[in-house]
Structure 1
Amino acid sequence: MAANTVSLKLLVDTASQRVLFAESGKDFVDFLFNILSLPTGTVTRLLTKHEMVGSLGNLYDSLENMNDTYILPSANKDTLLNPVVSNNTANVPPLLPTIESSKPSGFYRCDNSYRLKGCSFYVATGSKSICPSCNSVMSQSATVVNPKKDSSTDEGGYVKGVITYMISDDLSVRPMSAISCITLLNKFNVKDVGVLEEKTIDVGTDEGVKLLKASLQSKAVLTDVFVKKKAGESDASDYAGSHSIVI
């Protein structure tokens, strides 16, 4: 079971109040990459309609409120409003709220697939579909078999563990290296290392939702989520610990 919080180290330029990069292990990177697997309907529900970028919230609301009279009998609103999320998330940190998704409708084969070769090539997602080969109803339930995993090497999630990763402010991800750090410092024209500060934070569900929202709006995601503070908010509430970088 993945942890409910993930530790993240930030290197912050205190002069410009921006995050240069973050340092993390497998867990946080798995969470970031898992965002790519989220259907649009799921993202809309997670951020709530009034926080959605552009007009997606209105689009979601329109479908949700549309009378079933106007929906095709073969269509299912629930598959768009509550889409099925990727099943590769078992070991990904649960940094987003759990929301209910629609249940897969299942897969079906032609009733004649065991005796007519031409019928065995087709699979349908509805039990009332018609076989293109023999025109019979495809009501025979089919079982989907996932590829066999090597339990000795499969860690779950997306990236390998043991490795430390560097996440840029714009969420570019790469393996951590001294060369990458120096390149980034040069890119931001950092001359005085005395202004650099390392901050360790715990990322939970609230931060996960903020990261999701910022990733759709900003090129400075880490800065927007972890450095920019509301008026009256203290540093202690944002960071688990911090110290200056001394070289």
Structure 2
Amino acid sequence: MASNEQKKIVKLNVMVHRKLNQVVFAEADKDFVDILFSFLTIPLGTIVRLLRKQSHPTVIGSLNNLHSSVENLEKRRFQKEICKTMLLRTRNAYGDECRKLELNIDDTEPTSFYLCQPCASRRIGASLLSTFDSSSCGSRLTPMTLRSRPNGSEVDGEDGVFVKGNATFLVTDDLQVTPLSTLATFRLLNNLGITDAVLLEKKSLDVDFEQVMKSRCCQIT
């Protein structure tokens, strides 16, 4: 990921318990919630790779061993050489949309498309298009440019990537996301046994790439 991507920040308001000095919940707009939701689009292998690159790498059980096994295997052990790249640099099907995020966690290269001309001439539909520069028949592939389908209901700058731009959300410490409302706030405080709102203090934070990567959704054990 480019260094300037890691320097970007998003604003976040958090409610902190004065006595415990712990974050109780956050009030987040579309930018932060879109980043959280984008985690669900990232292939598992990419998550493992990203967490291993951090200054304090996170281990996701045996998945780290599985990822290392693919890295260490010689290309000749795979069905095709490109298979190793497919496994280690898996494409995010929603990658184009994720690049619109204020902080894009997935550093996988933009998806390219390639056409197998011999297969196209023989009308073998399953083998026509690939997202990697390799074909099942061994033929040389032709790079293709696909045009996005226009969407008249979406106006750039107004809506978020996954959620609407004018919404505000309540995000709990265990990453439950709900629309922000007085009822939702009181219900959360009641569940946590907090009966006096004076115990809470609102603080504004600047969240960067490193802090997002340390969020609980990445700390899988």
Query: TM-score with structure 1 length normalisation?
Result: 0.69
- Match status 1:19 vs 2:26: no
Query: TM-score with structure 2 length normalisation?
Result: 0.77
Deviation sequence 1:84-119 (CA, Å, 0-9, x none) = 2322113211254x7354864524464436xxxxx3
Unmatched runs of 5 consecutive residues or more in structure 2? none
- Match status 1:99 vs 2:107: yes
Which structure 2 residues correspond to residues 62-77 of structure 1 after superposition, within 5 A?
62-73=69-80, 75-77=82-84
Which structure 2 residues correspond to residues 133-152 of structure 1 after superposition, within 5 A?
144-150=146-152
Task: Classify the secondary structure of the residue corresponding to 1:93.
Answer: coil
| Residues 113 and 143, structure 2, Cα contact 8 Å, conserved in 1 | no
1:59 to 41, 45, 66: 66
Report 1 or 2 for greater relative contact order, CA contacts < 8 Å, sequence distance ≥ 6.
2
- Match status 1:207 vs 2:211: yes
| Residues 95 and 208, structure 1, Cα contact 8 Å, conserved in 2 | no
Cα distance in 1 between the residues matched to 2:190 and 2:163: 28
Unmatched runs of 5 consecutive residues or more in structure 1? 114-118, 131-136, 219-247
Deviation sequence 1:119-146 (CA, Å, 0-9, x none) = 375553457546xxxxxx8967765443
- Match status 1:168 vs 2:172: yes
Aligned to 2:48: 44
Cα distance in 2 between the residues matched to 1:100 and 1:121: 27
Q: What is the aligned-residue identity percentage?
A: 30
Which structure 2 residues correspond to residues 175-194 of structure 1 after superposition, within 5 A?
175-194=179-198
User: Which letter does structure 1 place at the counterpart of 2:85?
Assistant: D
Cα distance in 2 between the residues matched to 1:43 and 1:195: 37
| Residues 11 and 20, structure 1, Cα contact 8 Å, conserved in 2 | yes
- Match status 1:89 vs 2:98: yes
TM-fit CA distance, 1:42:
1.4
Deviation sequence 1:188-214 (CA, Å, 0-9, x none) = 121222211112111001101111xx2
1:30 to 34, 50, 53: 34
| Residues 12 and 20, structure 1, Cα contact 8 Å, conserved in 2 | yes
Deviation sequence 1:160-198 (CA, Å, 0-9, x none) = 112211112211112111111111111112122221111
User: Which letter does structure 1 place at the counterpart of 2:100?
Assistant: N
1:195 to 169, 193, 199: 199
| Residues 75 and 81, structure 2, Cα contact 8 Å, conserved in 1 | no
Cα distance in 2 between the residues matched to 1:104 and 1:170: 36
TM-fit CA distance, 1:21:
1.5
Task: Classify the secondary structure of the residue corresponding to 2:187.
Answer: helix
Cα distance in 1 between the residues matched to 2:186 and 2:121: 65
User: Which letter does structure 1 place at the counterpart of 2:69?
Assistant: S
Q: Which has the larger radius of gyration?
A: 1
TM-fit CA distance, 1:34:
0.7
Aligned to 1:79: 86
Cα 1:76–1:175 change in 2 (3 A) is same
Task: Classify the secondary structure of the residue corresponding to 1:8.
Answer: strand
| Residues 20 and 184, structure 1, Cα contact 8 Å, conserved in 2 | no
Cα distance in 2 between the residues matched to 1:68 and 1:129: 16
